[in-house]
C-alpha cells in the first residue's frame, strides 16, 4: 500500500526501497540469476509491479522466474495471498508478503511494497527496488531470455532511455501520486501543472515518432504505459488529474492503444484489479469505497494508426508466444 506521507508543504513524499540487493548473472552480488530460485510477487493493480510483469513476459522469463499475484484489496498487513487456495502462496507458503520482508529483516517495520523478488529457498525478500528489477531482467537474466526476446534496454540507447525515464518518473509516474496525495492546494496545483506540462512534452515527442526512444519498444515505453493505462480509470478522477482524459489527447491515446494492442501487453492489464484497489484501499481519498462503473474500456481495441510512423514493436526480436491474460 502506498503510504500517504507528506512534508510540511503538503507535498507527497515517496519512501525509498529498503531491499535493494542485485541479482546478477555472475552471482557476484551473492544472488545469482538462477532459474527456479526466485519468485516475483506482484499486484496487477500496481503500476510499478506491472512493469515487472510485462518485462518478464516480453523477455520470456516465465519459466525462469515464477509469479505470485496478490489480492488487489489489502488489509492492515498489506499485500495478501487470498487469491490462492487456503489464502497462502503455493510456493512460498505464506499468507502475507510481509512475512518475506520479516524473513529478510526481523526488525523491519516499514511499508510492504510490490514488486518484490523473493528467494524461494530462504523465503526472504531479495529486492523491492522496482526501477532496478526490470533493468536487471533485461541485462543480468539475458542468458535465460527466450529466443527472439527484444532488447528493451539497448546499450547504445541507455543514456537517452535513462534521461527520459527520470523525467517521466518525476512528473508522470510519481506525478499523479504527487497530485492525488497532496495535502495542500499549493502542492496539488504544482504537481498538477508539472504533470500536464510533461504530458504536453510527451505529446510533442510522440507526435512524429512511434516510440519514446529509438525505433522499437524499450524500458521507457513500458514505464510510461503502466501509468497511461491507469489514467482514465483512476488518476483522472480519483487523483484529480483532470485537465483532460487520456482519451481526449489524440497522440497519447493512440500511442497507449498501440502498446496495449502489441502482443504481450493487454494480457498483463487487469482493469478490475486496478479499479478495486485504488477506490477500495485508498479510503482516505474515497471513504465510501464505491468503485466507479466507468469509464468505457472498449476504445482500447480501436485502430490507432501509428504504424505509419515506422518502427516495429520488437525490433529484430519477435512477439512473445503466450499473450493470454494473467489471473
Beta pairing partners, 20? 127
Look up residue 8 and give its three cell numbers. Answer: 510540511
Q: Distance (Å, rounded) from C-alpha 111 to C-alpha 149? A: 34
> Averaged over 231-257, what is the pLDDT?
98
The per-residue pLDDT for 1 is: 47
**Residue at 128 is within a domain:** no
Task: Write down the mean pLDDT value for the chain.
Answer: 96
Ligand-binding site membership of 79 (annotated): yes
Q: Residue 135 falls within a domain, yes or no? A: no
Q: What is the 3-state secondary structure (H, E, C) of the chain?
A: CCCCCECCCCCECCCCCCCECCCECCCCCCCECCCCCEEEEECCCCHHHHHHHHHHHHHCCCCCCEEEECCCCCECCECECCCCHHHCCCCCCCCECHHHHHHHCCCCCCCCCCCEEEECCCCEEEECCHHHHHHHHHHCCHHHCCCCCCCCCCHHHHHHHHHHHHHHHHHHHCHHHHHHCCCCHHHHHHHHHHHHHHHHHHHHHHCCCCCCCCCCCCHHHHHHHHHHHHHHHHHHHHCCCCCCCHHHCHHHHHHHHHHHCCCCCHHHCCHHHHHHHHHHHCCCCCCCCCCCCCCCCHHHHCCCCHHHHCCCCCCCCCCCCCCCCCC
Q: What is the pLDDT of residues 268-314, one digit of tens each?
A: 999 999 999 999 999 899 999 999 999 999 999 999 999 999 999 99
| 297: β partners | none
pLDDT of 4: 72
**Upper half-sphere CA count for residue 241 (Cβ side, 13 Å):** 32
- Condensed to tens digits (0 to 9), the pLDDT of residues 28-43 reads 999 999 999 999 999 9
Q: Determine which one of 38, 46, 101, 188 is catalytic.
A: 46
Mean pLDDT, rounded, for 211-233: 98
Whether residue 322 is predicted with pLDDT greater than 60 in this model: the reply is yes
Residue 241 annotated among the catalytic residues of the structure: no
Please give the average per-residue pLDDT across 9-26, as a whole number. Answer: 92
Residue 299 domain boundaries: 156-266+289-309
Residue at 115 is within a domain: no
261 within some domain: yes
Please report whether residue 84 resides in a domain: no
Q: What is the CATH number of the domain that holds 162?
A: 1.20.1050.10
In-domain check, residue 22: no
The catalytic position among 101, 130, 153, 177 is 177
Q: How far apart are CA 190 and CA 212, in angstroms?
A: 25
- Tell me what pLDDT residue 3 has: 58
pLDDT at 76: 86
Does the pLDDT value for residue 145 go beyond 80?
yes
In-domain check, residue 69: no
Residue 219, pLDDT above cutoff 60: yes
Which positions ≥6 away from 59 have C-beta within 8 Å? 137, 138, 141, 145, 146, 149, 150, 152
Our CA dihedral for 206, 223, 68, 18, rounded to 10 degrees, sits at 180
86-141 pLDDT per residue, tens: 999 999 999 999 999 999 999 998 899 999 999 999 999 999 999 999 999 999 99
Q: Catalytic site residue 46? A: yes
- Rounded Cα distance between 130 and 207, Å, is 29
Are the C-beta atoms of residues 40 and 137 closer than 8 Å to each other?
Answer: no
Distance, in Å, from the CA atom of 127 to the CA atom of 305, rounded to the nearest integer, reads 39
Overall domain count for the chain: 1
| 208 found inside a domain | yes
Average pLDDT of 145-151?
98
The answer to whether residues 36 and 64 touch, using CB atoms and an 8 Å cutoff, is: yes
- Give residue 327's pLDDT: 60
Amino acid at each position: 500500500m502506498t503510504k500517504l506521507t507528506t512534508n510540511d508543504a503538503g507535498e507527497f513524499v515517496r519512501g525509498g526501497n529498503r531491499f535493494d540487493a542485485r541479482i546478477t548473472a555472475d552471482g557476484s552480488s551473492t544472488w545469482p540469476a538462477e532459474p527456479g530460485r526466485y519468485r516475483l510477487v506482484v499486484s496487477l493493480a500496481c503500476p510499478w509491479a506491472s512493469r515487472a510483469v510485462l518485462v518478464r513476459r516480453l523477455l520470456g522469463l516465465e519459466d525462469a522466474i515464477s509469479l505470485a499475484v496478490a489480492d488487489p484489496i489489502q488489509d492492515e498487513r498489506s499485500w495478501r495471498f487470498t487469491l490462492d487456495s487456503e489464502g497462502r502462496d503455493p510456493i512460498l507458503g505464506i499468507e502475507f508478503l510481509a512475512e518475506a520482508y520479516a524473513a529478510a529483516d526481523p526488525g523491519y517495520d516499514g511499508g510492504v511494497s510490490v514488486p518484490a523478488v523473493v528467494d524461494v529457498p530462504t523465503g526472504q525478500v531479495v529486492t523491492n527496488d522496482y526501477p532496478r528489477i526490470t533493468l536487471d531482467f533485461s541485462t543480468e537474466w539475458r542468458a535465460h531470455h527466450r529466443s527472439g526476446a527484444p532488447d528493451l534496454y539497448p546499450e547504445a540507447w541507455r543514456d537517452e532511455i535513462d534521461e527520459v525515464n527520470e523525467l517521466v518518473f518525476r512528473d508522470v509516474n510519481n506525478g499523479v501520486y504527487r497530485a492525488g496525495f497532496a495535502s495542500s492546494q499549493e502542492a496539488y496545483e504544482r504537481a498538477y501543472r508539472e504533470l500536464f506540462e510533461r504530458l504536453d512534452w510527451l505529446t510533442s515527442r510522440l507526435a512524429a515518432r512511434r516510440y519514446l526512444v529509438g525505433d522499437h519498444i524499450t524500458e521507457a515505453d513500458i514505464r510510461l504505459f503502466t501509468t497511461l493505462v491507469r489514467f482514465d480509470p483512476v488518476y483522472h478522477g480519483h487523483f484529480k488529474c483532470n485537465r483532460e482524459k487520456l482519451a481526449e489527447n489524440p497522440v497519447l491515446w493512440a500511442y497507449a492503444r498501440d502498446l496495449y494492442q502489441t502482443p504481450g501487453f493487454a494480457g498483463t492489464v487487469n482493469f478490475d484489479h486496478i479499479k478495486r484497489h485504488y477506490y477500495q484501499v485508498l479510503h482516505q481519498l474515497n471513504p465510501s469505497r464505491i468503485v466507479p462503473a466507468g469509464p468505457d474500456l472498449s476504445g482500447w481495441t480501436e485502430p490507432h494508426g501509428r504504424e505509419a510512423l515506422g518502427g516495429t514493436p520488437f525490433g529484430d526480436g519477435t512477439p512473445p508466444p503466450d499473450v493470454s491474460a494473467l489471473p
